[in-house]
Amino acid sequence: MRRFLLLALAVFFWPLNTLVEGNAVVSTGVSNSSTPRVAPVEGWSFQRHVIPILTKAGCNTGGCHGALAGKGGFRLSLSAYDPTADFLNITRDALGRRIETGDPLHSLLLTKPTAAMPHKGGRRLDPRSEDYRILAEWIAAGAEGPRKDEAQLERLEVIPERLALKKGDRAQLQVLAHYADGLIEDVTRWTKFTATDETLLRVSDPNGGLEVTGYGEGAVSAWFSSRIVLARVISPFPVEKDMTVESLPFPAQWASRNIIDSAINTQLRQLNLVPSGPADDATFLRRSHLDATGALPSPEVVSAFLADSNPKKRDNLIEELLKSKEFTDYWSYRWADLFLISGSHLRPAAVKTYAQWLRAQVEKNVPWDVLVREVITARGGSMEMGATNFYAVHQDPETMAENVSQAFMGLSINCAKCHNHPLEKWTNDQYYAFANLFARVRAKGWGGDARSGDGVRTLYSAPSGDLLQPRTGRAQPAAPLDALPVKDVEGVDRREALAVWLTAPQNPYFTRAIVNRVWAGFFGIGIVNAVDDLRASNPATNEPLLSALSEFLVAEHYDLKSLMRLILQSAAYQRSSEPLPRNREDTRYFSRYYPRRLGAEVLNDAICNVTAVPEAFTEILLGDGSSEKTEFYPKGSRAVQLYDSSVKSYFLKAFGRNQREITCECERSSQPSVIQALHLANGTTLNDKLSAPTGSVSTLLQQPRDDAALVKAAFLRCLGRPPNAYEKDAYLKLLAGVPDADRRASVEDLFWSLLTSREFLFQH
């Protein structure tokens, strides 16, 4: 009877899927000069075929049987992270009613998804499809479960890997699974395809069809059995007939100073984008000061730089900025976001020690890999060894693992805590193997809350202890992600091996993560966006650029100043933010500099700098919402000199400072709001400083009346440039004829108009 059923199914349905041995492939669109040897099909595999079919049908998603409690009494592991449990639930649970080996077509596994029986999930499987036939044949053959000796999937291959198409074009992708036993299988039909940018591409057919909907460079991710592979697509921007980027007479636009420009210009030519020309000296001076030091250039520096005729003055300026105290202040504050230095997590003394340790590393220009190794392997007293406070913020192995991964590799592995990661390749077992590396990190004085007590703690590594994997009830062998387990050696901290693996140049994430963060600090967006999201399904907008910069940083022994110097010197960084007709639509390929609003702390400091009225930071916010006085910050402290983000400040809160609750750039907001607009118009920060008797407005008014000189001074202080003729005439008319009694109000209006202008509020 079973043989008859198999024969009937084979006649009724389409041919079996293509299976080949060795390196030969037989399938549409793939050519190979060798003669393929087709492997005979001896039966369908639960892991290779049954699970992928259920996954592609959506049966094990969070909205269906993959939910924590399952659906309708039937539970599958989310995205098939636990095949063994899935097999038991399918074949043994509910008294085995879901499988009828003697009468496969009456199995609930087939009648439910085909809607032959009532199914709240609707019809998920076509009874005329090959997937239906495979499930039926698997059941008829005895419904064999996962085999321990089954060859594992080694890699996925997508064909073609790169396509050059035009808007409106369609293409078909094919995905091949390469197994450890040499078997290659076409798994296109069971692969989940997702466009990484739907403004450029869309998946038009769930079986690998795609359509180009826009212009630029994007990718389609192909996900099968917890593996992801990308097919990259380039769609050039339209140009006028018979016109190419090389035919345009703009030699200055195509200047190339280093590897950054080579990579960017190559991509721009492929996309038919023309870069904007170089920014003028005043714009570059202001931009580089703000990006490198978080501070505006003084009027004296502006005047001197604009008058300097030295052709190397920009390079000389870059060296001055990288050596400045302001550079240390600013980048210490920037990295404090990453290390979550905050009074909401730590006692004030611990915050100060942590922040001062970090500042010392930046001031000494400690290589990034050395700095990170010191954090990962930190031990000792929290008041003597500032880096140990990283573990006071994160006190359990899971949180330690998640934050190390996010901060230093740009990977969010949190989802893998409960199941295989739905958007990445990380499995539930890998998560607990990685977290187990931190299972022996202990501290004398931990009370659960890092803010309790006096904050004095001693961090150490216990000689034993493991983190149990909840699903199995056993400890997963401690191992870095995608690496072999760490051998336990008596007296050796597991974190030592982790630190070596993490900071190794061969680690595909460590170098790319910090390169991407630094790049975003100068350009406002990362080569990979979001900055914290380096998963495989979120590719770089310019992979050759990211790879070249990563190789450069390794060659420079992780000297971040060398990377910053390279960025500052590049023609790409020094481009104008003014769009051209041929790059107006570009928002990610760096054909021009992209304007962005100043960060909360930088904007606050800029207002204080222009008005010559410092901010007073006298209180810190506590975890319960209350506040307490602090004497850490003398009057005149810049906002970027604050130790942590818990300092009380209405302005900083309104303008979206990073709260440092989680390791994510999303904690910092640059979104405009009505509150911000009202505060600039009527709030105390700006208006009180303009009217202060000791401020810059008062100082200018004490000088002999010279409206032209006053207008020039205001522009130099606020915008870092002298006014043009139109602006000068307009403001002179505003001040002309104003009696001395009313002059102050007019001058305050002049400053207010400049300080609330987009040119002041934005980096450009």
Q: Above 90 in pLDDT, residue 24?
A: no
Condensed to tens digits (0 to 9), the pLDDT of residues 322-339 reads 999 999 999 999 999 999
10 Å Cβ neighbour count for 311? 7
- What secondary structure letter does DSSP report for 669? -
| pLDDT attached to residue 691 | 93
Report, at the CATH architecture level, how domain 153-235 is classified.
Answer: Sandwich (2.60)
CA distance 370 to 559: 10
Got the DSSP string for 355-421?
A: HHHHHHHHHTT--HHHHHHHHHT--EETTT-GGGHHHHH--SHHHHHHHHHHHHH----GGGGTSS-
Q: Residue type for 343, please? A: G
* Residue 315: pLDDT band with limits 50, 70, 90: very high
CA distance 153 to 52: 13
Q: Above 90 in pLDDT, residue 624?
A: no
- Phi–psi pair at 379, nearest 5 degrees: -155, 160
| pLDDT attached to residue 241 | 65
Sign of CA dihedral 196, 511, 294, 676: positive
* Residue 613: pLDDT band with limits 50, 70, 90: very high
Angle at 694 between CA 690 and CA 695, to 5 degrees: 35
CA distance 629 to 687: 25
pTM to 2 decimal places:
0.89
CA distance 581 to 239: 11
- The tokens describing 192, both together, are 């989940």
Looking at the DSSP bridge assignments, the partners of residue 212 are: 201
Condensed to tens digits (0 to 9), the pLDDT of residues 251-284 reads 677 888 999 999 999 999 999 999 999 999 999 9
CA distance 612 to 699: 10
**Mean pLDDT, residues 164-185:** 93
In what helix (H) or strand (E) does residue 287 lie, and over which residues does it extend? helix 281-293
CA distance 284 to 575: 9
Pair 232, 539: CB distance under 8 Å: yes
- Phi–psi pair at 11, nearest 5 degrees: -75, -40
Own/partner pairs, 279-282, CB within 8 angstroms, 24+ separation: 279/574, 279/575, 279/576, 279/577, 279/593, 280/576, 281/305, 281/306, 281/313, 281/314, 282/306, 282/720, 282/721
* Residue 35: pLDDT band with limits 50, 70, 90: very low
Q: Residue type for 483, please? A: A
Q: Above 50 in pLDDT, residue 7?
A: no
- The tokens describing 467, both together, are 């983190």
* Residue 446: pLDDT band with limits 50, 70, 90: low
Q: Could you tell me which residues come within 8 angstroms of residue 287 by beta carbon, excluding any fewer than 6 positions away?
A: 279, 593, 763, 764
- The tokens describing 498, both together, are 């982790």
| pLDDT attached to residue 430 | 87
In what helix (H) or strand (E) does residue 474 lie, and over which residues does it extend? strand 474-475
CA distance 106 to 198: 41
| pLDDT attached to residue 721 | 97
Q: Is 164 helix (H, G, I), strand (E, B) or coil?
A: strand
- What secondary structure letter does DSSP report for 647? B
Pair 429, 411: CB distance under 8 Å: no
CA distance 388 to 358: 11
User: How long, in residues, is the chain?
Assistant: 764
Looking at the DSSP bridge assignments, the partners of residue 490 are: none
10 Å Cβ neighbour count for 714? 23
More confident residue, 649 or 754: 754
| pLDDT attached to residue 337 | 92
Angle at 143 between CA 139 and CA 145, to 5 degrees: 150
Got the DSSP string for 125-163?
A: --TTSHHHHHHHHHHHTT-----TTSPPEEEEEEESSEE
Q: Could you tell me which residues come within 8 angstroms of residue 270 by beta carbon, excluding any fewer than 6 positions away?
A: 217, 234, 236
Pair 619, 630: CB distance under 8 Å: yes
Pair 497, 504: CB distance under 8 Å: no
Q: Above 50 in pLDDT, residue 508?
A: yes
Condensed to tens digits (0 to 9), the pLDDT of residues 189-244 reads 999 999 988 899 999 999 999 999 999 999 999 989 878 899 999 999 988 765 66
**Sheet of 380-381: strands edge to edge?**
380-381, 458-461, 441-444
Pair 140, 6: CB distance under 8 Å: yes
Q: Above 50 in pLDDT, residue 393?
A: yes
- What secondary structure letter does DSSP report for 658? -
Strands (E), 138-245: 153-159, 162-164, 170-172, 174-179, 184-186, 192-195, 201-205, 209-212, 216-224, 227-235
- The tokens describing 377, both together, are 């392997």
CA nearest to 604, candidates 574, 573, 648, 634: 648
10 Å Cβ neighbour count for 427? 18
| pLDDT attached to residue 10 | 37
- The tokens describing 626, both together, are 């209350």
CA distances from 145 to 52, 149, 531 (A): 14, 12, 41
* Residue 448: pLDDT band with limits 50, 70, 90: low
Q: What is the CA radius of gyration of the chain?
A: 31
| pLDDT attached to residue 27 | 32
Share the mean pLDDT of the chain: 87
CA distances from 662 to 154, 337, 451, 527 (A): 34, 9, 17, 22
* Residue 419: pLDDT band with limits 50, 70, 90: low
Looking at the DSSP bridge assignments, the partners of residue 175 are: 158
- Phi–psi pair at 608, nearest 5 degrees: -65, -40
Q: Among 235-244, 488-497, 499-508, 642-651, name the one with the lowest average pLDDT.
A: 235-244
Q: Could you tell me which residues come within 8 angstroms of residue 687 by beta carbon, excluding any fewer than 6 positions away?
A: 752
CA distance 760 to 754: 7
Omega of the bond leading into 530 within 30 degrees of 0 (cis): yes
Quote the percentage of the chain above a pLDDT of 70.
90
Q: Above 70 in pLDDT, residue 2?
A: no
Q: Above 60 in pLDDT, residue 490?
A: yes
CA atoms within a 13 Å half-sphere pointing along the CA-CB vector of 289 = 20
| pLDDT attached to residue 683 | 84
CA distances from 665 to 209, 340, 410, 532, 761 (A): 34, 11, 11, 7, 20
Q: Residue type for 482, please? A: D
Q: Could you tell me which residues come within 8 angstroms of residue 181 by beta carbon, excluding any fewer than 6 positions away?
A: 151
| pLDDT attached to residue 174 | 96
Domain boundaries, the chain: 43-140, 153-235, 259-323+509-569, 367-503, 673-764
CA distance 444 to 456: 9
In what helix (H) or strand (E) does residue 763 lie, and over which residues does it extend? strand 762-763
Condensed to tens digits (0 to 9), the pLDDT of residues 659-702 reads 887 777 777 887 888 888 898 888 888 999 999 999 999 999 99
**Mean pLDDT, residues 591-606:** 96
- The tokens describing 202, both together, are 């869309």
